[in-house]
Chain A
Amino acid sequence: NAGVTQTPKFQVLKTGQSMTLQCAQDMNHNSMYWYRQDPGMGLRLIYYSASEGTTDKGEVPNGYNVSRLNKREFSLRLESAAPSQTSVYFCASRYRSMNTEAFFGQGTRLTVV
C-alpha cells in the first residue's frame, strides 16, 4: 500500500550540479504534480502532467524539467542547481476526470550550497 513514493528523501547539491527527483505512484492515477514548499510561500506548482504523455508548466517552472516516463512515474530534473532551489519538493497524484483529492509523497528536502 505504498501510495506516492519519492526518492531521495534528502539531498545536498553544490551549485551547478544536476540531479533528478523520482516519483512513482501505484494508485493508477492519471495526473501527477511537482510542488515546492518554501516558508511563507505555501505549495507552489512547478510542473504537472494531466495524463500520460502530457506535461504543463505550473507557477514556478524556471530551472526545472520534467518527464512523465509512464503512467506511474513522473520525474523532476534540475539541470544546474542554484541556491534558490533549496526547498522541500513534493510529488502528488490524483484522478483527472473527477473531483477527487490528490495524494502526496513524503517529500524530498533539497539543499543547494
Chain B
Amino acid sequence: DQQVKQNSPSLSVQEGRISILNCDYTNSMFDYFLWYKKYPAEGPTFLISISSIKDKNEDGRFTVFLNKSAKHLSLHIVPSQPGDSAVYFCAASARETSGSRLTFGEGTQLTVNP
C-alpha cells in the first residue's frame, strides 16, 4: 500500500523555466508534508515543508502547494537552474496516529538543461 506516490519518474526542463513536481497521498491523517532533494552518493537533504493548516509555503525559488481535498501536493521551482538537477522526494507524516513515522514517495529525477 503505497501511501505517498510520485507518478513521474523523471522530468526535464530548460534552465530558467518552471519545474513542477507532483505528489499524491492516500492517508487523510497525514498532516505534515516535506520535500527532499538528493544528489548521487549523498544523503537526502531537506528542501521545504508545509503543514496541513496551510495551502502554500514559499522559500526563495521553491514553493510548495497543498490541495487537501485532492490529497495532492506540488513543488514549484522558479527559475530552474542546472544545479537543481537531482532526485526529489516528497514525504508525509501523521503525528497523532503514527508517532513520528515518515513515509516517502518513489522520487522524481529532475534534469535542468542549460
Interchain CA distance A58-B34 in the complex, whole Å: 19
The tally of residues in A whose CB lies under 8 Å from a CB in B reads 28
User: Inside 8 A of A59's CB, which chain B residues have their CB?
Assistant: 103
A41-B100 contact given A99-B32, A99-B49, CB 8 Å threshold: no
**Residues of A contacting B106 in the complex (Cβ-Cβ under 8 angstroms):** 40-42
Complex alpha-carbon distance, A80 and B3, angstroms = 30
Binds A, one of B14-22, B38-46, B65-73: B38-46
Q: Let me know if B111 is at the binding interface, CB within 8 A.
A: no
Query: How many angstroms from the CA of A36 to the CA of B34 in the assembled complex?
Result: 18
The interface size of chain B toward A, counting residues with CB under 8 Å, comes to: 27
Give A90's nearest chain B residue, CB to CB.
B43
A43 at the B interface (CB under 8 A): yes
Query: Are A48 and B100 in contact, CB atoms less than 8 angstroms apart?
Result: yes
Closest A residue to B106 using CB positions: A42
**B32 to chain A: which residues have CB within 8 Å?**
99
CB distance from A52 to the nearest CB of B (A): 12
Question: B residues near A, CB below 8 A?
Answer: 6, 9, 31-32, 34, 36, 41-46, 49, 51, 89, 91, 93, 95, 99-107
What are 16 A-B interface contacts by the 8 Å CB criterion?
A: A33-B102, A35-B104, A42-B89, A42-B107, A43-B89, A44-B104, A45-B101, A48-B100, A48-B102, A50-B101, A90-B44, A94-B100, A94-B102, A101-B46, A104-B43, A105-B43
